[in-house]
Structure 1
Amino acid sequence: MKLIKCVYTLLVSFILLGCSNDDNTPQALSKSDIQGDWFLVELNANEPTDLNNDGISNTNLRLETDCFSTMAINFENDTFTFTYPKLDFIGENNNEISCTDTLNTGSYGLENGILTATTTIDNSTTTERVSVQLDNDLLKFTITRAQVNEYLDLGSSDNENADLETLEFIFEK
């Protein structure tokens, strides 16, 4: 359940995390390859999750709530804007999801498939590197268990998402 309460933090943090790539050879990308608007088409967890409490679990979290339908990144020149949902859990037993779009901005660079992003969140400026993969018009990256654990408290044995190993983000141009 803690995954549900912290998903928005993870979404904000994706640019701030180092990610792995299934292909060990980084793809030589340039800024012109990624410039433009990118929209989230899949957010895949390694374990099925039931965010909307309908009794049906999915690995693609986009199928669990339409909160992710407006999630997007725009890269232009040396800056980016990132629209992501802030999720709030309401109702009896926090079983309903309310979401509000949030905008984050910053600067970026791209070299050999590594996106370097500088952003300010909660009055703290951070620069991080993210390995990205471009497959046709799909921009992909995966967050590993160690990176997820940095932002989510998954150490508790009573946490239903303690087996979460990866989250894969897939954006389409």
Structure 2
Amino acid sequence: MNLLKYVSTLLVSLILLGCSNDDNTPQALSQSDIQGNWFLVELNANEPTDLNNDGISNTNLRLETDCFSTMAINFENDTYSFTYPKLDFIGENNDELSCTDTINTGSYSLESGTLTATTTIDNSTTTESVSVQLSNDLLKFTITRAQVNEYLDLGSSNNENADLETLEFIFEK
């Protein structure tokens, strides 16, 4: 469950910190290639996870909760807006998941497959770069364990998600 306690921070940062290693010959991209609305179609973890406590684990976290169903990115000119869920655990044992949509905005550029984004979160401005892959109408990036560990405490021995090695985000236009 620790994976989702900090997921709102992670989700904002994912677009900024991911990297893709799915394609040996990256496609040269420009801002015009990604302009428009992108909707999350898959959020894949390397290990099956049971976020909704129904006894069934999935690697595609979109199958675990409806919280990710409205996650989207809109790229226009030099700005972007990112809609993502703020996740909270509720209930007597923090075993129920509640989510509320949050929107962040910022500026971006894209050159040769490297997305550079600047955003302000909690009065702190951050600029990060991420390699992205575009295939047909799918925009993909993957973050690694090291990147996830910047935002999540996965080293804890009682963390059920301590084996998480990657998260792959796939958005569709």
TM-score range, shorter chain: over 0.9
Structure 2 counterparts to residues 9-24 of structure 1, below 5 A: 9-24=9-24
Displacement of 1:125: 0.5
How many Å separate the matches in 2 of 1:118 and 1:91?
36
Structure 1 residue runs of 4+, over 4 Å off? Answer: none
Structure 2 counterparts to residues 77-116 of structure 1, below 5 A: 77-116=77-116
Displacement of 1:9: 1.8
Structure 2 length normalisation: TM-score? 0.97
Question: How many pairs does the alignment contain?
Answer: 173
Structure 2 unpaired stretches of 5+: none
Structure 1 length normalisation: TM-score? 0.97
- Alignment identity in percent? 90
How many Å separate the matches in 2 of 1:25 and 1:68?
30
CA contact (8 A) 2:18 2:141 kept: no
Q: Which amino acid aligns with 2:138?
A: L
SS at match of 2:32: helix
Counterpart residue number, 1:146: 146
CA contact (8 A) 2:106 2:118 kept: yes
Counterpart residue number, 2:42: 42
How many Å separate the matches in 2 of 1:134 and 1:117?
17
How many Å separate the matches in 2 of 1:79 and 1:135?
22
Structure 2 counterparts to residues 51-90 of structure 1, below 5 A: 51-90=51-90
SS at match of 1:93: coil
How many Å separate the matches in 2 of 1:24 and 1:77?
29
Displacement of 1:10: 1.3
Counterpart residue number, 1:164: 164
How many Å separate the matches in 1 of 2:172 and 2:94?
32
Structure 1 unpaired stretches of 5+: none
CA contact (8 A) 1:80 1:108 kept: yes
